[in-house]
Copies of this chain bind each other. A is one copy, B any other.
């Protein structure tokens, strides 16, 4: 189970402030669970874990097994919520230097022509399966990539249509138009689940399953967490997290840094940035969400964290067991001066780096909190996903914004489409 540790906020925020806020926190929590708040037509991500669809999990697992048996490369085409969740979970739960099964690649998450040209060359001669993920099918980045990839598949495989899986709207959109002529297999993006909350729908589940990750464990981690977070009391850690973030935002703090000490968890930072930034960053409000990977970034952003403008709060994502139980070997002459660490594990040393950092940042004026996973596995990642989703819904309601829309994302698209001469 998750463990949430907010004790390094205490020097910055009196407990009475949390007490005073708590009735509003409970009201926000109830509005979320009872679907009485703004954006309540986008709460399918809660229903989903309250009423798990095991048949869907099995269906996705079966297709993933077929793909794992036949593909050298599995190419996931999507952007934003159709990319970041799968990327985060796959990165967290697969080896650093390649695992078994198909290589998982991404496309349509930007518009680099060099990348597309080199990708097409790289795919040459490989058995490729493609999952294109887009509700409308017209989001430019994935649509454009899919046109290139589709034509490449058709030129290279007699069974191209069998190698394409679309994850899209139940009925509408360009991908459903294409299915009128091509019998692509299809998964549905539920109408009531926004992109940044979609990692536990087929949007995220198929790429994650193809990577060999147990999606049943992942999903049921979220299910368990949703059960644990039903209570409205002070025992609800997601509510505490939501309340503290809100109170700090109302104070002097403008930005929140998501920090890990295990590089495999840095993708979770990218997913978390979208979740937080898109849910809260509106009406000129919100904590600007940044993401760092320690101890790497202690030697880059560490100086600013310690002594720059005091506008920062910090959320650590840690694992009690980080899988790093590798012992420091002794050395003949201690010429490197490290013999005091002989027999200690990387896990131990990394943990002390975290403890030292949390202490130094607290003393330097950075309120910080830690979410602890038991270990880095599918179940724990599923728990963390739901924890942050629930928390951001509550913070959004406390802030008085609709945490489930993203009107500002249209602004650049509108300008870009105008410059590109897109027909009305």
Contact = CB atoms under 8 A, between A and B. Distances in A.
A288 B309 contact: yes
Interface in A68-112: 79-81, 83-84, 95-97, 109-112
Interface in A267-294: 270, 273-274, 277-278, 280-286, 288-290, 293-294
Contact of A290 (B284, B288, B298): B288
A336 B178 contact: yes
Interface stretch (A26-34, A209-217, A338-346): A338-346
A307 B278 CA distance: 10
B112 A328 contact: no
A411 interface: yes
A13 interface: no
A415 B286 contact: no
Given A261-B111, A352-B419, A147 B273 contact: no
A112 B322 contact: yes
Interface string A353-395: 1011101110110000000000000000000000000000000
A303 B406 CA distance: 6
A177 interface: yes
Interface in A391-424: 406-409, 411-423
A333 B142 CA distance: 18
B255 A329 contact: no
Contacts of A254: 254-255, 309, 311
A114 interface: yes
A411 to B, nearest CB: 4
Contact of A97 (B113, B122, B143): B122
B294 A308 contact: no
Contacts of A360: 411-412, 414-415
Query: Which residue of A180, A295, A350, A361 has the most chain B CB atoms within 10 A of its CB atom?
Result: A295
**From DSSP, what is the main secondary structure of chain A's interface residues?**
helix
Contact of A300 (B274, B335, B347, B349): B274
A329 to B, nearest CB: 6
A262 interface: yes
Contacts of A328: 144, 147-148
Given A174-B335, A336-B178, A411-B364, A325 B110 contact: no
A17 interface: no
A304 interface: yes
A312 interface: yes
A263 interface: yes
A112 B420 contact: no
A311 B119 CA distance: 38
A299 B81 CA distance: 8
A268 to B, nearest CB: 13
A110 B307 contact: no
A255 B288 contact: yes
25 contacts: A110-B293, A110-B294, A110-B296, A111-B349, A113-B345, A140-B353, A144-B328, A178-B336, A181-B333, A195-B299, A254-B311, A281-B303, A281-B305, A284-B310, A288-B312, A306-B408, A311-B311, A340-B421, A340-B422, A340-B423, A353-B412, A353-B416, A356-B413, A356-B415, A356-B418
Given A117-B326, A137-B336, A363-B411, 19 more contacts: A79-B296, A96-B118, A97-B118, A97-B119, A110-B261, A113-B350, A115-B264, A116-B324, A254-B255, A274-B300, A281-B303, A284-B309, A285-B309, A288-B308, A299-B409, A306-B411, A352-B416, A353-B412, A357-B415
Interface of A: 79-81, 83-84, 95-97, 109-119, 121-122, 137-141, 143-144, 146-148, 151, 174, 177-178, 180-181, 195-196, 254-255, 261-264, 270, 273-274, 277-278, 280-286, 288-290, 293-296, 298-312, 322-326, 328-329, 331, 333, 335-338, 340-341, 344-347, 349-350, 352-353, 355-357, 359-361, 363-364, 406-409, 411-423
Q: Considering the complex of A and B, which 5 residue pairs feature the smallest CB-CB distances, nearest first?
A: A113-B324, A113-B346, A281-B304, A80-B299, A281-B308
